[in-house]
Structure 1
Amino acid sequence: MTLVSNPTQLINALDNNEKEIVITRTMTFASSIYLPAGIDIKGQAQENGVLPTVFFSHSDGFILKGDAKISDLTISALQDKKAISLVPQQVRDNFGQISLINLIVDGQISMIFRAPTMTAHVDTHNVLVRKADTRTYLEQPQKYGVNVLQGAYTLYNFNPDANSKITAAISELNIGQDGQPVIGSGVFVSGFNDAGGQVAMDKMVLGSVYSTGLVPQGAADFITGGVFVVYGAHVHELYQLGKTVTYGVNDMVLDAWGTVDKWVVEDEVISYGQSGVGFVNFGTVNDFQAKKAISTYGVGARAYNQYDGTLKVGHFAEINTYNDGAVGIQISKEVGELHIEGDITTHGGVGQSLVKGVNVDLPAYAFSIKDGGYLHKLHVKGSILSHGDNVTTVTMEDGGRLDQVAVDGKVAALGNNSKTFSDETVEKRF
């Protein structure tokens, strides 16, 4: 074990191929530091109990060449730089194990695995990414007419080989701070695409996530997600213990293109921006539970949208939208069961909303089943209400299907020139 207290000592320790390095003092570097495979670098609390900070004044921060452990540090780069990243010229089939433990980070954590890497494992525990800006990074998933911006925490298997699989475990990961979101997505986990390199995770446990993409109003081809499980990613259990909040245009809050077996959200889900969605699913989610309200405040910001794939069982506390074009629940594909403990409520009229890469006019329906949408069972313990003008509370297109429905409260349209059901056939189902 080698103790270092200044930049020269740290560089000398790396030059001497020391594998266990303890940083005892805050220090600043003007260029990135490459860490060799097998490194264990950690901080040691100073006399006042504060862990040291490693600052990078003009560059990316630590760049990993292979398996590494980084712990007990604050790592501070500029927000548009990468505080921790992987060497882009990867040469081994097995990149090794990366452990990120007890860190505060300014700048992106970028775990992008590239060919020829076939296997690797990433452990992340007790990490806060305070700020990041990922808008300039060009490795972006593309589907449904949109590109997805990377996250402040990005785990990305960019190897197109379908046999490549990255495994990971995440616990106590927090992104941004209330009113101070990271720029881009928050937590981003992705494979190469549906058929390429994969990411598999038994368990992901998150704290709070605050993010915004700063996407210009009217731009329809870029989106972000507070928590985004992208294609090629399979998470067995996903638990969110804190709030998840997005602030901007096209900022989804919870988004899945991949697979989540069990997804439990303990706290509020909030979208403040235009054309955001509280929970949007293009993938396969088997069991989703939102234990507090999903609320959206922007124009065209829907609360729950099933675009593609399927949701087998969904439990929601309540659904609220507060602007024009902001649909409460919209179903476009097959969904098993939806259980709403409270109300589904919308407060707006007609407004612009982003639909598969195109901005279109939508009324703020409270509940909508599109052509091709199929819901096996709906149980609302509260009421289904729309407050806006020129809105239909419950609408179902000709190709939509709904097998069972129970609403313990009432279904009503409270705005001017609004109606409760799209037609008599729908009314009879309720």
Structure 2
Amino acid sequence: MANISVHNAAALNNAIAQAQSGDRIEVHGLISGQPSVVLPEGVALVGADSGATLRFGARGVFLSGDNAVANLRIETAETEVALGIAQEATDLGAISLKNLSTRGQVFLGTGAKVQTGSFDVDTVQVERADVRGRVLRPHAFGVDAQQGGFTVWNLAEDPSVWLEGTFRNISVGSKQAPVRGSGVFIGGHIKAEELTTAEVAIDGGITPSTPDLISGGVFVITGAKVGTVRNLGPVTTFGANDMVLDNWGEVQTWVAEAEAEVSSHGPSGIGFVQFGELDTLEVKAPIVTTGVGARGFNVYDGHLRSASFQSIATTGAGSIGIQISQPVESITVARDVTTAGGTGMSLVKGVQTELRAIGVSVKPGGSVQRLEIGGQISTGGDGVWAFESFGPVSKLRVDGGVRTTGNDADALHTAADTVSEQDLAAISTHTLSGRDHVLVEE
């Protein structure tokens, strides 16, 4: 075991060529001009001072297995991989990444022959990256999903291979410089005990009205199993079809803390999208969307036991506040659910679809055992009602009442036997020119 200090590209290349398992390569200051490097198995690469930086013209650092990288900045072109995994690696061993910043993607994507491995990742900041050109994308529900600036993806061809990991304090982009593509992306057979994020900001750069491509701020992809997802900082999206928080995998608990506002500023963006398996969702921060067809919260598929929110506000045409298409035990909102838009187009499972900006919508096939709104449900669009139920809502409570301010905008639309007369009678309604309650057919 040896500590090897490097101050320039020639010394770095020589150290990597001679390093053996257990060695530690220490980077001093800024080093540039070297080609992409592959760390041998068991070798650590660490910054020796606060300015320790590796600057590459093309790709950056790749890991072979049992590597540690810490206290270092890695710079590449924004379209390149700053930190990745050698595709020929089969046993990743224990990979440790601590206190890193990058310009360029962190792509912890495996080769097809990988068999074992684990990740311990703490405090990684992807300042800039552009992953829009990546050909490899997961596909489900009628759409492809863009990779993330920070991507963990088990691509083993053997379905029995599971990798494990913990991912803490991951930051991708900023509101001033959003990453192009998705933000934090975890997919394939990954068992992650914990995923926590700091600030995440993205702009997928997707052409508006595109039906078959999306991105996500924090995205758990099919195959991944995560114990706890915790958003500690704001998650913001700026482009078309940019989901803010999206679950295609299996998550036990997902919490967005009070400091982590969930906001979307492009058409067909959604605050939280649920397709996979999720036990408990708790969004302590406001969900705010501003684009056409940019909805607040959707349960499209899979299973969700309970969800709670502080508030949900949408402003665009076709931007539904809450839409439920699967059975859910409980949904609670501490404050208001408000929409301001009328009728507009929105992306639904790979199809651009015309929607009304309804406040709360329970679709056929959806149901809620307990739906409680601490504030009001209100809509502002013409011809847009505030609440509709085509599936059963066993217990409905709206403390602040139901309000519509658009022309010909009704308060309540319910199919027969979906909401009890007692619950409906307890809800105060106010409309400008619509009806208080309409009994509708499915």
Which TM-score band (shorter chain)?
Answer: over 0.9
Secondary structure, in 3 states, of the residue corresponding to 2:386?
strand
- Larger mean CA deviation between 36-45 and 23-32 belongs to 23-32
Aligned residue type for 2:5:
L
Per the alignment, residue 180 of structure 1 pairs with 177
The C-alpha deviation readout for 1:120-170, integer Å capped at 9, x for no partner, is 111111111001111122221111100010000000011132211011111
2:144/2:214 contact within 8 Å kept:
yes
Aligned residue type for 1:8:
A
How far has the Cα of 1:179 moved from its partner? Answer: 2.4
- Which stretches of structure 1, 4 residues or more, deviate above 3 A after TM superposition? 423-429
Of the three residues 138, 141, 149, the one matched with 2:138 is 141
2:10/2:34 contact within 8 Å kept:
no
- Work out whether 1:70 is the aligned partner of 2:69: yes
How far has the Cα of 1:422 moved from its partner? Answer: 2.1
* 1:18-417 correspondence to structure 2 within 5 Å: 18=20, 19-45=23-49, 50-57=50-57, 59-90=58-89, 92=90, 94-191=91-188, 198-266=189-257, 267-397=260-390, 400-417=391-408
Per the alignment, residue 436 of structure 2 pairs with none
How far has the Cα of 1:403 moved from its partner? Answer: 1.1
Structure 2: gaps spanning 5 or more residues = 425-442
Aligned residue type for 1:292:
A
Distance in 2 between the 1:218 and 1:286 partners? Answer: 32
TM-score normalised by length of structure 2:
0.92
Give the direction of change, closer, same or farther, for the CA distance of 1:183–1:379 in structure 2 (3 Å limit): same
Aligned residue type for 1:418:
A
1:22/1:41 contact within 8 Å kept:
yes
Per the alignment, residue 437 of structure 2 pairs with none
Distance in 2 between the 1:29 and 1:241 partners? Answer: 37
Distance in 2 between the 1:318 and 1:241 partners? Answer: 17
- Larger mean CA deviation between 64-73 and 2-11 belongs to 64-73
The C-alpha deviation readout for 1:332-377, integer Å capped at 9, x for no partner, is 1111100110001000000110000000110100000111111111
1:309/1:334 contact within 8 Å kept:
no
Secondary structure, in 3 states, of the residue corresponding to 1:368?
strand
How far has the Cα of 1:67 moved from its partner? Answer: 2.1
1:62/1:85 contact within 8 Å kept:
yes
The C-alpha deviation readout for 1:202-242, integer Å capped at 9, x for no partner, is 11111111011100112111101100001111110111111
Secondary structure, in 3 states, of the residue corresponding to 1:422?
strand
Distance in 2 between the 1:242 and 1:95 partners? Answer: 30
Give the direction of change, closer, same or farther, for the CA distance of 1:424–1:147 in structure 2 (3 Å limit): closer
The C-alpha deviation readout for 1:283-303, integer Å capped at 9, x for no partner, is 111111111110100000000
Distance in 2 between the 1:213 and 1:301 partners? Answer: 15
- Larger mean CA deviation between 59-68 and 348-357 belongs to 59-68
1:51/1:72 contact within 8 Å kept:
no
Secondary structure, in 3 states, of the residue corresponding to 1:60?
coil
Percent identity over paired residues = 35
Distance in 1 between the 2:88 and 2:170 partners? Answer: 28
Aligned residue type for 2:282:
Q
Cα RMSD over matched residues?
Answer: 1.3
How far has the Cα of 1:51 moved from its partner? Answer: 2.3
Secondary structure, in 3 states, of the residue corresponding to 1:183?
coil
Secondary structure, in 3 states, of the residue corresponding to 2:341?
coil
Aligned residues: 415
Aligned residue type for 1:212:
D
Distance in 2 between the 1:179 and 1:269 partners? Answer: 16
2:85/2:110 contact within 8 Å kept:
yes
2:13/2:34 contact within 8 Å kept:
no
Structure 1: gaps spanning 5 or more residues = 192-197
Per the alignment, residue 195 of structure 1 pairs with none
2:255/2:281 contact within 8 Å kept:
yes
Distance in 2 between the 1:65 and 1:150 partners? Answer: 22
Distance in 2 between the 1:359 and 1:324 partners? Answer: 13
Aligned residue type for 1:235:
V
Secondary structure, in 3 states, of the residue corresponding to 1:88?
coil
1:23/1:52 contact within 8 Å kept:
yes
Give the direction of change, closer, same or farther, for the CA distance of 1:395–1:124 in structure 2 (3 Å limit): same
How far has the Cα of 1:30 moved from its partner? Answer: 5.0
Aligned residue type for 1:165:
W
2:62/2:84 contact within 8 Å kept:
yes
Distance in 2 between the 1:151 and 1:104 partners? Answer: 15
How far has the Cα of 1:17 moved from its partner? Answer: 2.0
Distance in 2 between the 1:96 and 1:188 partners? Answer: 21
Distance in 2 between the 1:334 and 1:218 partners? Answer: 29
Give the direction of change, closer, same or farther, for the CA distance of 1:371–1:160 in structure 2 (3 Å limit): farther
Distance in 2 between the 1:240 and 1:42 partners? Answer: 28
The C-alpha deviation readout for 1:47-97, integer Å capped at 9, x for no partner, is xxx32211112x11001122211111111101100000111233x3x2211
The C-alpha deviation readout for 1:295-349, integer Å capped at 9, x for no partner, is 1000000000000012111110001001100000000111110011000100000
